[in-house]
Amino acid sequence: MPVLINELRTHPLALFADFRRLFFGRVVSAVGDKFFSIAIAWWIISGSGDGARFQLGLVMAVNVVPVVLFGPALGALVDRSDKRRVMLLADGARAFCVFALAWLLFSDRLTLPALYALCFLISAFGPLFESAVSSSIMRLTSPEKLAGAAAADASVMQLSNVAGSALGSVLMALTGVIGAFVFNAASYLVSFFAVLRIRTDLRPPKAETGLPGGSGVSAYMAELREGVNYILKNRPLRSLLYVFAAFNFFIGPLLILIPMIVQFTLRESVVWLAIFETFFALGSFVMSAAASFRKGYRSVYGTFFRSVLFLGLSFGGLYFTGDRYAVCALLFAAGAALGAGNAAALALFQYTVPEEMKGRFFAVLTTICYAVLPLTFMLNGFLAEKFSVGFCIAFNSLAVLAVSCVILLIPRLEAKVGLSAP
């Protein structure tokens, strides 16, 4: 017990008040995002008739297109801006857009084109916020606690998914889709005020802010090129980004396959959609939370390989069962593997990418990972319509297993992640 108490007292969330404020705001807003995604998926599947599978794939694709279009440019902007102000801008803009969406639905004027347009705008501010967060973790914590802080930050999505998935069906039963939208908008305001309370100076050094006028634009473009060149010239880092892109292409379809399994394979209600997504998120959160107590990794690549391999096996198991409880177990296992792999990889990036380059790097990382999602969402929506949901599961799970083998072959970043790292 004394050891556990000491671990809790020395956890990054206990030691750093501003990091704790950011974590709280992110959890609340991410819970709102989960309510929003469940509501969107069910609204489309329930009301789009025979084309529901394709429409769901299309709206999911629209949600990631802005990340691909604007991600790298926004990363350079984050590196030269006050990251606290960037996060406030992103939260405020997203709250406004989601309130507008809720109003259109309430007034019975929400159409699919309007939904696509507003989802595009909401998603456009996502990479701005996430890049600002990723490039602020070092300043909000310390080098000694960076591995744990990165894992804790990675657990935000999983923790929010657990709460969001578990409570999403309850919220929709009480308030409907409109209530889920309103909650999401309010959650961005909670995040806004949590970020507003951060006292750590998150402004860049004056040398990085550029000059007004034409020279400022020139400096901005130079910084953007510098970020891209940094990645292109670093072969181990570039190889790992390619692996992330391939991994996201084949694991991303789970976002649309889980609702399809519920609706078209098991023919269950939205309650089971919430249950399945809860188990997937819970597995991921448990491993991410456990990783936040680690001092570091002796072999990040070994951890990443085992995680992706186990994820592929768990994903493939969904092909062989129609039992609801077996699906819960497999999704929990897949989520746990995802959480462990993400925590290890993100810790590696935090230790190896220079502080002045992190905004640009994490924006490029997010862009590369998300760039594949529109294609894979539409492809899997088409394949599910043409063949079956089971075909999509088999195809993607085998591909994930292949990606795990590639991890053993790529060149490696030489870095100590925590432990005896400086």
pLDDT at 208: 47
Q: Does domain 7-200+229-418 have CATH number 1.10.1740.10?
A: no
Tens of pLDDT, residues 348-364: 887 788 777 777 777 77
Calpha distance 352→237 (Å, rounded): 9
Q: Is 298 exposed, middle or buried (0-12, 13-18, 19+ CB in 10 A)?
A: exposed
Report whether 333 contacts 327 (CB < 8 A).
no
Give mean pLDDT, residues 29-34.
81
Kindly state the tokens that stand for 52: 């529901």
pLDDT at 91: 92
Tens of pLDDT, residues 188-218: 999 999 999 999 888 876 544 443 344 455 6
Kindly state the tokens that stand for 360: 């640009």
Report whether 331 contacts 284 (CB < 8 A).
no
Which tops the pLDDT comparison, 59 or 3?
59
Tens of pLDDT, residues 164-173: 666 666 666 6
pLDDT at 341: 87
Tens of pLDDT, residues 300-324: 888 889 999 999 999 999 988 888 8
Tens of pLDDT, residues 47-61: 655 566 677 767 777
DSSP letter string over 46-69? HHSGGGHHHHHHHHHHHHHHHHHH
Mean pLDDT of the chain: 79
Of 122, 119, 113, 107, residue with least CA distance to 62? 119
Tens of pLDDT, residues 101-141: 889 888 888 777 888 888 888 888 887 888 888 778 878 88
Sign of torsion over alpha carbons 114, 178, 280, 304? positive
pLDDT at 413: 76
Of 330, 303, 302, 300, residue with least CA distance to 317? 330
Would you say residue 335 has pLDDT above 60?
yes
Q: Give the contacts of 82 (CB within 8 A, at least 6 positions apart).
A: 202, 203, 204
